[in-house]
Structure 1
C-alpha cells in the first residue's frame, strides 16, 4: 500500500492553567490544539458504498487508508488538504486502518 498523502490527527486538550478568570472568580481554560502527522491515502466515498462494503450506516464523504494508529478515534478530527473531517467509522485490520470521514463545511 502506497501512503503518499499527509493527514493530521487533531487532538484538543484543555490547558493546565487558566488563561483568565470569569466574573464569578472561576478560571477559564483554553483548548490547546495539537496536530500529529500521519501518512495515508484519501479518496471520495459515499453513504451507499459504506452500507454495501462495510455494512455501516454513517454519513461519509471520504475514505482514508493508513497504518494503525491509536490516535484515530470515532468523532475525532482529521485535517487533510486544509479541510477538516470528522471520523465517522474506523475499521481496524492487522496491517492497516480504513477510516470513513465526513467533511466539515
Structure 2
C-alpha cells in the first residue's frame, strides 16, 4: 500500500463524480470547474497508483477499485463528519464525555 492520505474533500469530489460518472455535472454541483474536478481525481489516482475510472468508454465508468471506494465512501464521510461534530461539541462543553458504571449489589 502506498503512503497516500485521501483527504475528506477529495473523497467528496470523487463521490460526486462517481454518482453518475460525469465530471462536468459534479463540478456544477460542487461549484468548481471541470478542470479542478479532473485534477482532484487525477491526484487521487496518482497517489493511490490505482485508476478509479475507465475513461476509454463513453460515458466513463468506475473501475473495480472505483466501485469499492464508491461503495464505502459515504460511510467514511459520515463517520468523519460525526467525529468532527462530536469533537466541536465536546470542545464547546456541549457534549461532555459521560461514563456510567454499574455494580451488582
TM-score interval, smaller chain: under 0.3
Could you say which structure has the larger radius of gyration?
2
Q: Tell me the TM-score normalized by structure 1.
A: 0.22
More strand, by proportion: 1
More helix, by proportion: 2
Q: Tell me the TM-score normalized by structure 2.
A: 0.22
